[in-house]
Amino acid sequence: MMPVLEITDLTKRYGDLLAVDHMSFAVEEGETYGLLGPNGAGKTTTISMVVGVLDRDGGEVLIDGLRHDVTSVKTKALIGYVPQELALYPDLTARENLRFFGHLYGLTARPARMRITEVLELVELHERADEAVTKYSGGMMRRLNIAIGLLNRPRLLVLDEPTAGVDPHSRNAILESVQRLAAEGVATLYTTHYMEEAERLCDRVGIVDAGHMLAEGTRRELVGLLDEHDRVILRVADGAARAVPTLRDLPGVLKAGGEDGDLELIVNEARSLLPAIIGALGEAGVEVRSVEVREPDLESVFLHITGKALRD
């Protein structure tokens, strides 16, 4: 299958600064790809070149296999771009804003009306669509900005830090919209410096720092780069030592130990093993009081690769 977006050796200089250095990756249909990196890593510069608002100094961008740059009209029509800055008319209602932008995109009245209803529902603003945008919260404005980016039914949706600084309700609405769009086959390129969000939303993540793509893959693949495993810590009523041999025999348990009221296990995949662990303890007559799972995460991966924390 041909990827919706394929970039090769994308490069950008600002004077002496190599802001993006031979960046390459691809995003498939229905895939959500996250660029994860700290401020200044080059995420915005990369996606500005991807969408064609910024000239590149080197490399190639293909959208649906077609060469794409700042002057490409045909490929630009395949992209929905939602920048960090809001571009809205505050005195108009959400629906009027959408009508205005729909007109700019060349949508005629009837299809526009239908599409506007669809995108309003997608970002969960339909109930407040006829209020002036001045009355909206920051998160609602961000959702309206996304709705505008969706008007032209993009094949590729590009979102630059869409949840930065928004309230939890809007954040959820945004993440759910992206998930629904992915189910419809939209390819999404997403930048964030929130590790949890990249983990929850993205099928694959590219870890970037100082203009470089340091590693990419699924969460599992990236965590697999670490020499770390999941850890399960159980607090039990009594008989901890008695349970240890039983636990060691469970498939997927690499190490088990315990004394007093605590048991600690090193396992392959904690979440899928928990029922077996708790079941085995029950059979051994050991009562479990609490369970804690510690999994290595993308933050640990970033730390491992760069030697520094993702957030300052």
Ligand X SMILES: Nc1ncnc2c1ncn2[C@@H]1O[C@H](COP(=O)(O)OP(=O)(O)OP(=O)(O)O)[C@@H](O)[C@H]1O
Residue ranges that bind ligand X, judged by CB under 6 A = 14, 17, 19, 37, 39-45
- Kindly state the smallest distance separating residue 189's Cβ from ligand X, in Å: 13
Shortest CA distance to 187 belongs to which of 25, 298, 36, 18? 25
Residue position matching structure tokens 């997608």: 122
* Nearer to ligand X (CB atom), residue 14 or residue 89: 14
- Kindly state the smallest distance separating residue 214's Cβ from ligand X, in Å: 13
The span from the CA of 265 to the CA of 231, in Å, is 6
- Kindly state the smallest distance separating residue 146's Cβ from ligand X, in Å: 18
Structure token digits, residue 174: 């945004």
Judging by DSSP bridges, how do beta strands 262-267 and 230-236 pair with one another?
antiparallel
The span from the CA of 240 to the CA of 264, in Å, is 10
* Nearer to ligand X (CB atom), residue 40 or residue 282: 40
Angle at 82 between CA 170 and CA 1, to 5 degrees: 105
* Nearer to ligand X (CB atom), residue 83 or residue 258: 83
* Nearer to ligand X (CB atom), residue 17 or residue 254: 17
The span from the CA of 72 to the CA of 94, in Å, is 29
- What residue spans of 211-269 are helical by DSSP H? 219-223, 240-248
* Nearer to ligand X (CB atom), residue 149 or residue 296: 149
The span from the CA of 164 to the CA of 197, in Å, is 11
Whether the CA torsion 87, 93, 96, 98 is positive or negative: it is: positive
CB 240 within 8 A of CB 258: yes
- Kindly state the smallest distance separating residue 194's Cβ from ligand X, in Å: 11
* Nearer to ligand X (CB atom), residue 37 or residue 296: 37
- Kindly state the smallest distance separating residue 192's Cβ from ligand X, in Å: 9
- Kindly state the smallest distance separating residue 164's Cβ from ligand X, in Å: 8
